[in-house]
Amino acid sequence: MNSTMRIVNTYVEYRENPLGIDVEKPRFSWILEDERRDSFQEAYQIQTAADDEYGHILWDTGRIHSSDSIQIPYGGEPMKSRKRYYYRIKVWNHKWEESEWSKTAWWETAFMDYREWNADWITPEYDFQAPKSACPVMRTEFQLTKKVKKARVYVTAKGVYELRLNGNKVGEDFLTPGWTSYNKRILYQTYDVTKMLQTGNNAIGAVIGSGWYKGELGWRSRRNLYGGREALILELHIIYEDGTSQEILSGPDWTSSYRGPILYAENYHGETYDARLEMPWDISGIEREAWFGVRPMGRMPKDILRAQECECVKIREILRPKALFRTPNGETILDMGQNMTGWIRFRVSGKPGSRVVLTHAEILDTDGNFYVDNLKGAKQRIEYVLKGKGTEVFQPHFTFQGFRYVMIEEFPGEPQIEQFEGLVLYSDMERTGFFSCSDTLLNKLYENVLWSQKGNFLDIPTDCPQRCERLGWTADIQIFAATAAMNMKIPLFLTKWLRDLAAEQFESGGVPWVVPDIYDDTYAYDLAGYTGQSEQVAAAWGDAATICPWTLYQHYGDIRILQEQYDSMKKYVDYIYHQGDNPFCWDTGHQLGDWVALDAPYGSFVGATDTAFVATAYYAYSTRILYQAAEIIGNLKDARDYRQLYEKIRSEFQNKYVRKDGSLSVKTQTAIVLALHFQLVQNEFRQGLADELAAWLERTNYDLITGFVGTPYICHVLTAYGHAATAYRLLLKQDYPSWLYQVTKGATTVWEHLDGLKPDGTLWNPRMNSFNHYAYGSVAEWLYKGVTGISIGEHGAGYRHFQFAPEIGGGINWAETVLTTMYGEIRAFWRRCEDKIDFHLKVPVNTTAEIILPVSQLESIRESGKRPELGNGIHHIKTEGAQIYIHVGSGNYNFECMETK
Ligand code: BGC
């Protein structure tokens, strides 16, 4: 017991103490620490029990001789519903020293089988005299006579709901149950309400907004996409101290009303709230006359109910406005100093019936006036009518806004800046990545990328959070997934969305443009012109089906996501196989190509790169991912078959697009980037192509002209072929077109177009000009991987093995990344000091790293004043070309390099 190896954190299904999951075999992961270097786990033991004293052990692995410390599936008896399971873990290190037991932790199940739901879906009786768009409330009262030991509520709605119990909001989540493919899957949430109940009379109920379920979606202002009626299903399970229990279920005895204060609420358009209509529906003993009944919806299925699968949306940050000022047009404007997604909360006092009216927008126009044209009809407007009693505090319920500026159209008295705050809403994911360096503009770009992730990770990954779109565009997240996975812990968020992707996949295997899918032929017509096809599938968009699971596998060592999504991945590749006459290329359908690339012909969003080239390149890439996934999950026949398919696609690609002299027949930068990044051209031609790309960029003043498809990979490709200096020129360029151009223009999030705001001060076409679009923010992956040099090594899924190979350059003096991985924290840092460069790396316990230092002689490296030698964590040292490779185990390493080329 004298080992210093400790278990510092444990997780079940990526969470600490998750409440209300229905995963049959939840997986355990733990983080180890040890001050000593080169520390590995040799064995582990997991115990689960019905109590936290471990008096009644349910499952005990015994000592398992394995170095695995993440994603270990539960192997005990099938779990019961609505039960808490405790667990603890111990480990042995490579010297067979035994650790202490980890701190006791737990998970709690929800309904393991949907058939256990006893409650009814209920919907309000319609009240024809109520305001047309009002949000209904459904409620009930009940009596408790005994002392409560434990109480849980399981609840969801068709619409978005806020649940209240005895005068208080239940939980801290907003916009629940989020957006899923509602016809096939609706998630319910679990809350611990033990402390909210009281002896005697109690009241519980929910108010329901239209949300994604029946509110407006897409730019054609269509409503009721999933159904026309709000509905609620709820079970409150109470266990008394004396061991007896009681259940309160939504059912025909509940009552409803449309006469509450929320008169109107829509995601895009905002909320109208008349505080004079507030009624205390969430406390017991209210008058019953004005209340209507509810209708049980007998035929509404329960088999679509699943326990919440990821973090819910919460208020994650609160911002104070930076300024309150008047525009040249005389508008009163609040500047949040940050483009954000969420709400304004305000404090106000005034006469009954006086109003606060706020409109939200992302930018000011060239003259400094309020600008809403790029919202494309999303009104983003909050109207609040005062009840006129003391100080009133308001924040919206069933809407969200993408904004930096707020126009105060009406306000009782003179508004003061202190009366407002910005509530930043996004899914409650842990921040895992931090990057900073000596270049302040680059740091700002990185911050902007983070903010675009926050703004667009509101339950689903969206393209933008402001205009009447806010949809799960598949390419956007496919491009951004790796960056997102470094910035935040996203596996649950993305797994949930991938289940929707699989649910929405067409019979043919094609993947819709957006998930959840809201498009039908009419939308397709808007975008594509009439193509005669009812299913719109495009390369780089549909490939989210393969790339997103693969990204999760790489970053979190999550094999289950590959198993779960495997059919969907395979169906997608098979879909492409069946397009057109030639099964080894993809040259049909309406393709979106290298979206918004600057080499696009005038008036088009589709970049100059031949769309069949893009589609075939992605086809090859997805097929490669598929066969690798098949290998990992042990489907060896598929692995063989799809590898052969991949090879055929690759040779078809070479036949079609690679000329005899090694040049490409498609002459764009994106074409080179894809051909190299997806490794589609013959080895002997690769360096030449990379050189061509570098020379091209040099010739064209390092203009960034690639679109959605080429931009994420361009710096990676340049660095892989020895052109890091060019990558830095591109990255650090400040004039248009470049990443930093928008930073110099004051951007606080990443823009949809590199020239959303043009150098002459005019704005891009308002039809499509979002200032919060993360796609181009995928460059942050290169900040982590290139500038600080941290990347996942081969066979190192989950960062079990990783590389530290910083690209020193660009006039940057120091850079740092801190990354919380499944194994613990990686810290990578380098700094130029006069005649040497210092490198620091922290390698988590149970992992290994390859440190690649840019020096040719081992003599030039010092660790604690000495030349590095084997032993004490260093497993291997080799010199290759102008680099030294040092293979290390866990611990902290500090190297000084005397060569500073
Ligand atoms: C979205 C994009 C998306 C594109 C594809 C746009 O309206 O905002 O990010 O990928 O459409 O057509």
Per-residue model confidence as pLDDT tens digits over 448-485: 999 999 999 999 999 999 999 999 999 999 999 999 99
The pLDDT score that the predictor gives to residue 157 is 98
pLDDT of residue 375: 95
- Report the pLDDT averaged over residues 211-226: 90
Query: What's the whole-number mean pLDDT along residues 640-660?
Result: 98
pLDDT band at residue 587 under the 50/70/90 scheme:
very high
Q: How close is the Cα of 463 to the center of ligand 1, in Å?
A: 7
Residue 720 amino acid letter:
A
- pLDDT tens-place string over residues 393-437: 999 999 999 999 999 999 999 999 999 999 999 999 999 999 999
Read off the pLDDT of residues 821-852 as tens digits, 9 standing for 90 and up.
999 999 999 999 988 999 999 999 999 999 99
Nearest CA, atom 12, ligand 1: 592
Residue range 167-175: mean pLDDT, rounded:
98
Residue 770 Cα, ligand 1 centroid: separation in angstroms? 10
- What is the CA(758)–ligand 1 centre distance, in A? 20
User: What pLDDT, on a 0 to 100 scale, did the predictor assign at position 524?
Assistant: 56
Q: Which ligand 1 atom lies nearest to the CA of residue 475?
A: 10
Band of pLDDT at residue 323, cut at 50, 70 and 90? very high
Specify which residues 313 forms β-bridges with. 174, 427
Please name the helix (run of DSSP H) or strand (run of DSSP E) that holds residue 560, with its range, or none: helix 559-577
**Relative to the CA of 473, which ligand 1 atom is closest?**
10
pLDDT of residue 781 exceeding 50, the answer is yes
Distance (Å) from CA 595 to ligand 1 centroid = 8
Radius of gyration of the chain (CA): 28
Pocket of ligand 1 (CB under 6 A): 463-464, 469, 473, 475-476, 527, 592, 595, 768, 773
Percent of the chain's residues with pLDDT above 90 = 90
Distance 776 CA to ligand 1 centre (A): 12
**Enclosing H/E stretch for 821:** strand 814-821
Is residue 844 within 8 A of residue 823, CB to CB? The reply is: yes
- The Cα–Cα gap between 482 and 463 comes to 16
Looking at residue 835, what is its pLDDT?
87
Best of 217, 375, 476, 526 to mutate for ligand 1, by most ligand atoms within 8 A of CB?
476
Question: Whose C-alpha lies nearest to ligand 1, atom 7?
Answer: 768
| Tens-place pLDDT, residues 599-625 | 998 888 899 999 999 999 999 999 999
pLDDT tier, 697 (very low <50, low <70, confident <90, very high otherwise): very high
Grade residue 559 by pLDDT with cuts at 50, 70 and 90.
very high
Nearest Cα residue to atom 8 of ligand 1: 463
- Residue 656, both tokens: 């079609």
pLDDT of residue 846: 97
- Kindly report the protein residue whose alpha carbon is nearest to atom 11 of ligand 1: 473
Contacts 24+ apart (CB under 8 A), 691-694: 691/721, 691/723, 692/663, 693/669, 693/717, 693/718, 693/723, 694/718, 694/721, 694/723, 694/726
pLDDT of 528 higher than 80: no
DSSP string for residues in 471-535: --BHHHHHHHHHHHHHHB--HHHHHHHHHHHHHH--TTS---SBSS----HHHHHHHH---S-SS
- Whether the per-residue pLDDT at 180 is higher than 90: the answer is yes
768 CA closest ligand 1 atom index: 7
**Count of Cβ atoms closer than 10 Å to residue 151 Cβ:** 22
Tell me which DSSP letter residue 787 carries. Answer: I
CA of 700 to the centre of ligand 1 (A): 27
Question: Lowest mean pLDDT: which of 171-180, 512-521, 811-820?
Answer: 512-521
- pLDDT of 761 reads 86
Is the pLDDT assigned to residue 523 strictly greater than 70? no
- Rounded Cα distance between 87 and 448, Å, is 40
CA of 579 to the centre of ligand 1 (A): 23
Average pLDDT score over residue span 585-604: 92
Would the pLDDT of 532 be above 60? no
pLDDT for position 881: 87
* Whether the predicted model's global pTM rises above the 0.85 cut: yes
What pLDDT is stored for residue 533 in this prediction?
A: 59
Nearest CA to ligand 1 atom 1: 463
Average pLDDT score over residue span 726-733: 98
Q: Mean pLDDT score of the chain, rounded to an integer?
A: 95
* Predicted pLDDT at 289: 72
**pLDDT for position 1:** 47
What is the rounded CA–CA span in Å between residue 535 and residue 353? Answer: 50
| Ligand 1 atom nearest to 464, measured from its CA | 8
- Supply the pLDDT for residue 399: 98
Atom nearest to 541 CA in ligand 1: 10
Compute the distance between CA of residue 216 and CA of residue 218 in angstroms, rounded to an integer: 7
Q: Whose C-alpha lies nearest to ligand 1, atom 9? A: 463
Q: What is the pLDDT of residues 486-511, one digit of tens each?
A: 999 999 999 999 999 999 999 999 99
Residues of the chain above pLDDT 70, percent: 98
* CB contact at 8 A, 830 and 838: yes
- How far does the centroid of ligand 1 lie from the alpha carbon of residue 756, in Å? 14
Q: Which atom of ligand 1 is nearest to the CA of 773?
A: 9
CA of residue 883 to ligand 1 center, whole Å = 42
Give pLDDT, residue 901.
54
pLDDT of residue 525: 55
The answer to whether residues 784 and 792 touch, using CB atoms and an 8 Å cutoff, is no
| Alpha carbon 567 to its chain's center | 23
Contacts of 551 (CB under 8 A, 6+ apart): 481, 482, 485, 494
Please tell me the distance from the alpha carbon of residue 650 to that of residue 681, in angstroms, as a whole number. 8
Q: Which of 467, 473, 605, 774 to mutate to test the pocket of ligand 1 (most atoms within 8 A of CB)?
A: 473
Q: What is the DSSP-derived secondary structure letter of residue 613?
A: H
Tell me: the pLDDT tens digits for 42-59? Answer: 999 999 999 999 999 999
- Report the separation in Å between the CA atom of 474 and the middle of ligand 1, taken as the mean of its atom positions: 9
Mutational pocket test of ligand 1: of 219, 463, 606, the residue with most ligand atoms within 8 Å of the beta carbon:
463
- Is cis: bond before 844, omega within 30 of 0? no
Report whether pLDDT(299) > 80: no
DSSP, collapsed to helix, strand or coil, labels residue 143 as strand
Q: Answer whether residue 521 shows pLDDT above 60.
A: no
Kindly indicate the confidence band of residue 529, based on its pLDDT and cuts at 50, 70 and 90: low
Burial of 704 (0-12, 13-18, 19+ CB in 10 A): buried
Q: How far is the CA of 807 from the centre of ligand 1 (A)?
A: 33
Structure tokens at 488: 């935040």
* Residues whose CB is less than 8 angstroms from the CB of residue 413 and which lie 6 or more positions away in sequence, other chains included: 350
Q: Is the pLDDT of residue 72 over 50?
A: yes
C-alpha closest to that of 756 among 477, 538, 519, 467: 467
Query: Cα of 541 to ligand 1 centre, how many Å?
Result: 10
Query: What is the position in ligand 1's atom list of the atom closest to the CA of 527?
Result: 12
Q: Indicate if the pLDDT at residue 531 is higher than 60.
A: no
Ligand 1 mean position, distance from CA 231 (Å) = 32
From residue 413, how far is each of 331, 408, 410, 690 by CA, in Å? 15, 12, 9, 63
Is the model's pLDDT at 181 over the cut of 70? yes
State the Cα–Cα distance between residues 540 and 870, nearest whole angstrom: 46
Nearest CA to ligand 1 atom 3: 473
Residue 186 pLDDT level (bands cut at 50, 70, 90): very high
The arithmetic mean of pLDDT across residues 345-356, rounded, is 98
Q: Residue 174: which pLDDT band, with cuts at 50, 70 and 90?
A: very high
